[in-house]
């Protein structure tokens, strides 16, 4: 079956770095997405990886290893506004998105 | 501001009642989707539409129906609501459903409580 695993909750300190991991199993693969969702709001797009390696976008970076079925989202210089849930989603060979349950990130001052 | 508008924002209704959640986008996106989000679970696809005039079933379609008469509108109907349909419903759209870089734009969500 198809499956996405990511930690339920993580805690980090303002100004620090945090890495949120995601492992996936899909029938075929057409890319890995990360979305951010603040409490009570809609998910918003953060990143898309389809090739192995690291994609950097400001304070946020996303990494993909297709051979390992693994991705991570790296957040640097954490700010209080980064407190949110981070959703990992993999696209299968039929272009269907398989979503993880999300990782709730708590930032402490 | 370009985006997706959902209505209502929240609704409480009695079991057995019929309910339609409205979704309108102004980005001229071809594909539209309805998801439900429940605590501890990932987003689950209810129905989707790759283009105006076509619809398809997602992971959890039972008890729901959709229509796509034009590009902009994609209403979701619960014919006879049941308590298990209590959830937050998100409408989303994307330029194409057959593209790897298929970035979704989400509406603000509709919180539905069925008693």
| pLDDT > 70 in chain A, percent | 100
Q: Place A69 in a pLDDT band, splitting at 50, 70 and 90.
A: very high
When the pLDDT of each residue in chain A is averaged and rounded to a whole number, the result is: 96
8 Å CB contact between B90 and B34: yes
* B-proximal residues of A, 4-23, CB under 8 Å: 4, 8
Task: Please tell me the predicted confidence (pLDDT) of residue B42.
Answer: 87
Best residue in A8, A24, A28, A43 for a mutation probing chain B (most B CBs within 10 Å): A43
**A41 neighbourhood in chain B, CB within 8 Å:** 108-109
d(CA A83, CA A81): 5
**Interval A20-48: pLDDT, tens:** 999 999 999 999 999 999 999 999 999 99
Query: Looking up tokens 């605590």, which residue turns up?
Result: B39
Higher pLDDT, B40 or B58: B58
Query: Looking up tokens 């770095």, which residue turns up?
Result: A17
Average pLDDT over residues B34-59: 95
Strands B31-37 and B44-49: antiparallel
d(CA A98, CA B22): 24
Average pLDDT over residues A74-86: 98
Contact A95 B40 (CB under 8 A): no
Task: Please tell me the predicted confidence (pLDDT) of residue B1.
Answer: 61
Average pLDDT over residues B63-80: 97
């Amino acid at each position: 079956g198809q499956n996405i695993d990511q930690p339920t909750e993580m805690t980090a300190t303002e100004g620090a770095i945090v890495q949120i991991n995601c492992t996936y199993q899909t029938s075929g693969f057409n890319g890995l997405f990360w979305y951010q969702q603040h409490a009570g709001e809609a998910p918003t797009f953060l990143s898309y990886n389809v090739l192995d390696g690291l994609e950097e976008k400001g304070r946020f970076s996303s990494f993909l290893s297709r051979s390992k079925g693994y991705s991570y989202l790296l957040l640097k210089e954490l700010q209080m506004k980064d407190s949110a849930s981070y959703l990992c989603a993999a696209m299968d060979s039929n272009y269907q998105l398989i979503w993880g349950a999300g990782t709730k990130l708590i930032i402490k001052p | 501001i370009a985006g997706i508008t959902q209505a209502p924002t929240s609704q409480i209704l009695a079991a057995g009642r019929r309910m339609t959640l409205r979704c309108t986008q102004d980005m001229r996106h071809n594909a539209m989707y309805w998801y439900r989000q429940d605590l501890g679970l990932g987003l689950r696809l209810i129905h989707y539409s790759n283009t105006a005039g076509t619809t398809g079933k997602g992971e959890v379609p039972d008890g729901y129906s959709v229509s796509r008469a034009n590009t902009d509108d994609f209403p979701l109907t619960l014919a006879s609501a049941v308590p298990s349909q209590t959830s937050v419903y998100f409408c989303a759209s994307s330029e194409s459903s057959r593209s790897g870089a298929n970035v979704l734009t989400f509406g603000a969500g509709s919180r539905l409580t069925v008693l």
